Chain A
Amino acid sequence: MKINRRNMLLTALFGTGAVGLKSLATGIPMSVFLNPLKAHAQDPVPSRVLILSSSSAGDPINANVPGTYEDSAIQHSSDPLMAATAMAVGGQSYDAARPWAELPPEILAKTVFFHHGTYTNAHPNHPKAMRLMGATERNEMLVSVYSEALAPGLGTVQREPVSVGARSGNELLSFEGRSLSNVTPLALKSSLAAGDGALADLRPLRDRAVDQLNALYKEHGTANQKRMLDRFAITRDEARSLSLDLVGRLDDIANNNEADQVKAATVLAAMNVSPVITLNLRFGRDNHTDPEFVKETAETVTGVGHLRTLVETVDGMRAEGTLRNDVIVGTLNVFGRDLMRKGRAGRDHNGRHHVTVLIGEGLNSSVVGGVTPTGRDYEAQAIDSGTGMGSDSGDIPHEETFQSMAKTLGVALGVSRTRLEEAIAGGTVIETALA
């Protein structure tokens, strides 16, 4: 049999139970057919991809965004690069550090600054924070709740989220109890690089031989061993179903730095690999000791810049048709930082105040919640669910602000409200934050 691209396509379509054909015909990802128990009925809402910057360092994003400039006791950098600058959010005027305030109006028009607690102030609890400190169903990570729910609607290659920027074991993602490996930009580039032409042409034949080997091993395997063999087959098929048209965009990746993470994340989104992609942008990091907030200033400037590049890149790809789905870009770290306690000498951990920044379609420009003094420092205020404003008498208590952010983001992404109620205990969707 002469191997050519036509035969390759036929194998991809008709191999492994013709899942490729089924997938093509229905738009449902192959992984759903290969694992039908996991498929959920779809709600008729648009599904969006999430690209989330996440870090266990606990960056001081919360100190520089709208909502933390009204109280004069709150400390900010005095560097002109971070000067308090007026900005319009949701038709209201706020002050924020210049890098945030100077984001283009079209980005601010779909940006939400959500003040909430994360209820932990320890770096090792980053995985717990990603699980909403125990408020998710079966202790699943929030990004995995989203990913599992969004995969069918988005038609992604896989159901699991992908991380391109985890810097330590604490930042690895998990899905249904399985830890997921990090895929650095350089590694992504290498693993997806086109193989040797002649050998690549023989892949369909090899896939058939490997399937035969798998079947042979299964004959002699236990149920658990068969499970692993199935995983080998499924992930091989997922790899085969990747659209490689965009791989060329990875060519100029030379590093695993933030700029390269941005490139990798956008390409993965365009390749429709996963509903959720995480990366790791710096906004000042763990700045206990940061006289005059020098580090915070430098990294906020570059961090907001990367965020802007990310948004503009996905918007550009969406406009040119490279990207099939809308993307929401966001940030979620283990905790925020103190706003006042150490003056301008640095900032300690603050599990009671964190700001998630969300940018994308489906979001309505707004500042949700606010801050209130605690005596020691500040915490996220209770929220009035009707207005989204911070209020000491708000019906969403501080203890449910985190889940409220998670549910609001979930709705914006297109996860059904029913599913969100099942998966997240507590919290209320903030309708004013939704477009």
Chain B
Amino acid sequence: MGQWVIGLGALLVMGTLPAGCTGEVSDAAGRDSGVGTDSGRGTADTGVDPTRPAFAQCDNPDDPYEPVQAFVYGTKIKGLLTGLPLTGEELDALMADPNAIRGQIDGWMDLRVAQEKLRRFLQTSFQQDGYEGQALVDLWGYGNFQMGRLEDRTDVGPLFIRTFEESFSRTAYDIVDSDRPFTEVLTTQTYYMTTAQMVGLALSDDRGIDDENDKAYQTLGAMIDQVEFQSTDPTTLAQSLNPSSPEWMRFYVENTDITCGAAGHVKTSGDLVRTAFGALFGFYQDNDDCRVDVVRQAPLLDEGDFFDWRPVTIRAPRSGEDTTAFYQVGAIRASSELVLRVPRVGFMTTPAFFATWPTNDANQNRVTTNQTLVVALGKSFDSETSIVPAFDDALDDAHADPTTSCWGCHVNLDPMRQYFRNSYSFYYHLQEDPEVQALRPAFAFQGHEVAGDPGDGVIELAAALADHPRFAPAWVQKACFYANGAKCPEDSAEFIRIVTAFRDSSMSFRTMFVELLASPLVTGVSCVEGSAADLASIARARHLCATLSNRLALPDACGTNGYFRSELGGYRGIAGQLTQVIPDDSFSRGGEDPIVIRDTNLFIRSAAEALCERIATELVKTDGRFPSSDPEGAIDFFVNDLMGLSASDPRRDPAIAILNRHYADAIEAEASTTNALRSTFIVACTSPTVLGMGL
């Protein structure tokens, strides 16, 4: 009832809000991210209400805390980190000494599979994987921009666009792996990139798009007066991309079908820079009046150019220095540097982040600013959490009346968004309007204040964020969500200890992560008031897929990781669709907490079962991984390795008996030995330690 009354009060207050405060961005939906609002323990026929998760209550004599057993938390933590099962030796060590978990975590983090899982966590945590493809293409300012097609009919466009998801997670992982201060995720100007991405950023840098959406090339427009495609004279790409060469913009395209009138293979009208850029990515355009005027085939860039990840430092040109041009492909391939006009710093200026959070002339970078705060500090703007900055030059007049509710947010948000405005136009291209840049930004949030100077931009914003006291607890909290699917109690001594360890280690993410995972906040070996350590959940998609792939040594078991059509043949195509039903971690606009769905439903259950059926058919066959000739060996594997119940796990032997009995029942039901074993596989695959976490 209390919430109800408060809600009514809030409603009445909201009812007085003037319309038009488009910058109001807070989301105080509370436990909206898969976490129950009710901590009461209900009673059903099993003694518990299955719909209500309960947070730990340490001093409830009627419901004493039940410590989580080693075989449960060991499996949970190793699964989180690697997807692999806990071995018998590891469980024995844990049962002998629960403190062994810290060393085990340290070792698990060094496994290659742990790198993949951690990168995925970082990718989502930095909000790099929430964009639609067209939004990223929009950053170039080309409507309906197309790319080519590989021999296996893979579309180059989606492939290229998707690689941007990975760029910052690789960057952040490198910071973690080399144990550099994690605050570098805010201040770094070195990003893991591919040659193709560098070419794309170089083109974007030359193509200015101002606040009015007026577009203009800085240098390239004057350099290209025609583009020719021909299939008779095998010139090299280097020649075609050399402005001093007679072959400049004369591309050799094998087997091209472009033929058109007297002009032959030449394009002389329209946006020729776009035509040349498109050709590098496999889209060949002839003169607009040709009947057949486009061809999509293999890019002129090498396939390897899309996957040659390496650290690349982006810097501004020195006095008199030219920026990197998109056509300098040879130099780009060999370079670890990009010279660009548009500043890039930290996670919040990547193409993926910008594509996820496009802005416009009404929003004016407020969404970019707020999402930056959500990622960096785990907090969103609302009028309760802010302080009034010393300067309000950049406060929008429409929201500048302190008597309105709008003012409470805008008084802070507008001066802060000016850091982005000073660096970027509404289209995330270089801000060149001196009137805009004359405004002074200011950072004032959660008790931390930095007065900016006119012209300060995202680099100064990054510095302000890196010094913010919320950074450390925010990232401990994100790791908590990852591990428990729920928030950790920030006022607990254990949480504070981990935050302190994070800071004391010069912001070593690895130190923090190990401390957290080994903590009762995650293991549940002892009670921490309000923690969710003993809450079980479904295996969210990323975890389920890693479990199936790594335990079964079946690459990309869910069919979700492949870039090429040829990788998605066979059962993986269907598996990929089924996996869409299984929830994965994500984020929302204005949401301080990640979206972590813990609960199952009939569709998730159906999809998981169907996925297991597909994998069973793939692996259980005469010449497959589990031939029907060895049911005993297969069942032993199903229990030990797939279900992860090792010799010391008290559930192992009964589980083997259950699977053996099922196999025998299936045979008795006149199933073939292959189908009986497949069915047994499905039982194991749909068991609680595969479909769930913390069980």
Chain B's nearest CB lies how many Å from the CB of A180?
7
Chain B's nearest CB lies how many Å from the CB of A215?
9
Bin chain B's interface residue count: 35 or more
Q: Are A1 and B35 in contact (CB under 8 A)?
A: no
Within 8 A of B (CB), among A179-233: 179-184, 186-193, 195-196, 198-199, 201-202, 205-206, 208-210, 212-214, 216-232
Chain A hits for B45, CB < 8 A: 17
Q: Are B33 and A179 in contact (CB under 8 A)?
A: yes
Chain A hits for B650, CB < 8 A: 220
Q: Are B665 and A124 in contact (CB under 8 A)?
A: no
Q: Are B669 and A191 in contact (CB under 8 A)?
A: no
Q: Is A27 an interface residue (CB 8 A)?
A: no
Chain A hits for B675, CB < 8 A: 198-199, 202
Q: Is A6 an interface residue (CB 8 A)?
A: no
Contact with B603, one of A125, A174, A188 (Cβ below 8 angstroms) = A188
Chain A hits for B535, CB < 8 A: 224, 228
Q: Is A46 an interface residue (CB 8 A)?
A: no
Q: Are B18 and A179 in contact (CB under 8 A)?
A: no
Q: Are B24 and A121 in contact (CB under 8 A)?
A: yes
Q: Are A128 and B27 in contact (CB under 8 A)?
A: yes
Q: Are A225 and B695 in contact (CB under 8 A)?
A: yes
Contact with A223, one of B3, B41, B596 (Cβ below 8 angstroms) = B41
- Assembled-state Cα–Cα distance A9/B651 (Å): 30
Q: Is B463 an interface residue (CB 8 A)?
A: no
Q: Are A169 and B591 in contact (CB under 8 A)?
A: yes
Chain A hits for B583, CB < 8 A: 181-182
Q: Are B591 and A216 in contact (CB under 8 A)?
A: no
Q: Is A426 an interface residue (CB 8 A)?
A: yes
Contact with A121, one of B20, B53, B658 (Cβ below 8 angstroms) = B20
Chain A's nearest CB lies how many Å from the CB of B353?
15
Chain A hits for B662, CB < 8 A: 205-206, 208-209
Chain B's nearest CB lies how many Å from the CB of A182?
8
Q: Is B655 an interface residue (CB 8 A)?
A: yes
Q: Are B602 and A231 in contact (CB under 8 A)?
A: no
Q: Is A398 an interface residue (CB 8 A)?
A: yes
The segment from A131-139, A355-363, A364-372 found at the interface with B is A131-139
Q: Are A128 and B47 in contact (CB under 8 A)?
A: no
Chain A hits for B245, CB < 8 A: none
Q: Are B658 and A191 in contact (CB under 8 A)?
A: no
Q: Is B96 an interface residue (CB 8 A)?
A: no
Within 8 A of A (CB), among B572-624: 574, 577-578, 580-583, 586-591, 595-607, 609-610, 613, 616-617
Q: A119-B17, A191-B578 are in contact. Are A205 and B669 (CB under 8 A)?
A: yes
Chain B hits for A134, CB < 8 A: 6-11, 14
Q: Is B654 an interface residue (CB 8 A)?
A: yes
Q: Are B658 and A213 in contact (CB under 8 A)?
A: yes
Contact with A202, one of B4, B669, B691 (Cβ below 8 angstroms) = B669
Q: A36-B44, A374-B19 are in contact. Are A289 and B578 (CB under 8 A)?
A: no
Chain A hits for B51, CB < 8 A: 35, 38, 176, 178, 231
Chain B's nearest CB lies how many Å from the CB of A2?
6
Chain B's nearest CB lies how many Å from the CB of A407?
14
Chain A's nearest CB lies how many Å from the CB of B287?
29
Q: A216-B658, A220-B651 are in contact. Are A210 and B25 (CB under 8 A)?
A: no
Would you give the 0/1 interface string for B530-543, flagging 1 where the beta carbon is closer than 8 Å to chain A? 00001111100000
Q: Is B566 an interface residue (CB 8 A)?
A: no
Q: Is A122 an interface residue (CB 8 A)?
A: yes
Q: Are B590 and A123 in contact (CB under 8 A)?
A: yes
Q: Are B54 and A223 in contact (CB under 8 A)?
A: yes
Q: Are B26 and A124 in contact (CB under 8 A)?
A: yes
Chain A hits for B360, CB < 8 A: 288-289
Q: Is A377 an interface residue (CB 8 A)?
A: yes
Q: Are B26 and A117 in contact (CB under 8 A)?
A: no
Chain B hits for A227, CB < 8 A: 46, 48-50, 52-54, 536
Q: Are A229 and B669 in contact (CB under 8 A)?
A: no
Q: Are A37 and B44 in contact (CB under 8 A)?
A: yes
Within 8 A of B (CB), among A22-72: 34-38, 56
Nearest chain-A residue to B362 (Cβ)?
A: A288
Q: Are A181 and B597 in contact (CB under 8 A)?
A: yes
Q: A1-B665, A177-B37 are in contact. Are A196 and B24 (CB under 8 A)?
A: no
In the complex, how many residue pairs between chain A and chain B have their CB atoms under 8 Å apart? 361
Q: Are B605 and A398 in contact (CB under 8 A)?
A: no
Within 8 A of B (CB), among A130-170: 131-139, 157-158, 160, 162, 168-170
Q: Are A236 and B11 in contact (CB under 8 A)?
A: no
- Assembled-state Cα–Cα distance A75/B658 (Å): 70
Q: Are A184 and B580 in contact (CB under 8 A)?
A: yes
- Most chain A beta-carbon contacts within 10 A, residue among B6, B534, B665, B678: B665
Chain B hits for A341, CB < 8 A: 20
Q: Is B111 an interface residue (CB 8 A)?
A: no
Chain A's nearest CB lies how many Å from the CB of B168?
19
Within 8 A of A (CB), among B467-500: none
Q: Is B38 an interface residue (CB 8 A)?
A: yes
Chain B hits for A229, CB < 8 A: 536, 688, 692, 695
The segment from B155-163, B273-281, B315-323, B679-687 found at the interface with A is B679-687
Contact with A230, one of B37, B46, B671 (Cβ below 8 angstroms) = B46
Q: Is A12 an interface residue (CB 8 A)?
A: no
Q: A120-B24, A170-B591, A177-B31 are in contact. Are A222 and B534 (CB under 8 A)?
A: yes
Q: A139-B37, A196-B617 are in contact. Are A225 and B686 (CB under 8 A)?
A: no
Chain B's nearest CB lies how many Å from the CB of A343?
14
Q: Is A431 an interface residue (CB 8 A)?
A: no
Chain B hits for A230, CB < 8 A: 44, 46, 48, 50
Q: Are B534 and A225 in contact (CB under 8 A)?
A: yes
Chain A's nearest CB lies how many Å from the CB of B304?
32
Chain B's nearest CB lies how many Å from the CB of A344?
16
- Assembled-state Cα–Cα distance A3/B664 (Å): 13
- Assembled-state Cα–Cα distance A229/B7 (Å): 34
- Assembled-state Cα–Cα distance A182/B130 (Å): 15
- Assembled-state Cα–Cα distance A341/B22 (Å): 14
Chain B's nearest CB lies how many Å from the CB of A327?
20
Chain A hits for B330, CB < 8 A: none
Contact with A425, one of B8, B46, B578, B654 (Cβ below 8 angstroms) = B8
Chain A hits for B617, CB < 8 A: 196, 199
The segment from A301-309, A346-354, A385-393 found at the interface with B is A346-354
Q: Is B141 an interface residue (CB 8 A)?
A: no
Q: Is A257 an interface residue (CB 8 A)?
A: no
Chain B hits for A239, CB < 8 A: 602-603, 605-606, 609
Nearest chain-A residue to B682 (Cβ)?
A: A206
Q: Are A231 and B19 in contact (CB under 8 A)?
A: no
- Assembled-state Cα–Cα distance A212/B14 (Å): 52
- Assembled-state Cα–Cα distance A399/B45 (Å): 43
Interface, chain B (partner A; CB < 8 A): 3-4, 6-12, 14-15, 17-27, 29-38, 41-54, 63, 66, 68-69, 71-72, 130, 360-363, 380, 534-538, 574, 577-578, 580-583, 586-591, 595-607, 609-610, 613, 616-617, 650-651, 654-655, 658-659, 661-662, 665-666, 668-672, 675-676, 678-679, 682-683, 686-689, 691-692, 694-695
Further contacts, 18 of them, CB under 8 A, given A178-B36, A216-B651:
A35-B49, A117-B15, A134-B8, A134-B14, A136-B4, A170-B588, A179-B595, A187-B577, A187-B581, A208-B665, A216-B655, A216-B658, A225-B534, A228-B536, A230-B44, A236-B605, A341-B20, A353-B19
Show 18 residue pairs from A and B whose CB-CB distance is below 8 angstroms, ordered by the A residue. A34-B50, A35-B44, A35-B50, A35-B51, A117-B15, A121-B17, A123-B590, A124-B588, A138-B4, A190-B607, A206-B686, A208-B662, A209-B662, A225-B536, A228-B50, A231-B50, A235-B600, A351-B17
A-B pairs, 3 with minimum CB distance: A124-B590, A134-B7, A169-B588
Interface, chain A (partner B; CB < 8 A): 1-3, 17, 34-38, 56, 117, 119-125, 127-128, 131-139, 157-158, 160, 162, 168-170, 172, 174, 176-184, 186-193, 195-196, 198-199, 201-202, 205-206, 208-210, 212-214, 216-232, 234-236, 238-239, 242, 273, 288-289, 338, 341, 348-353, 374, 376-377, 379, 398-399, 425-426
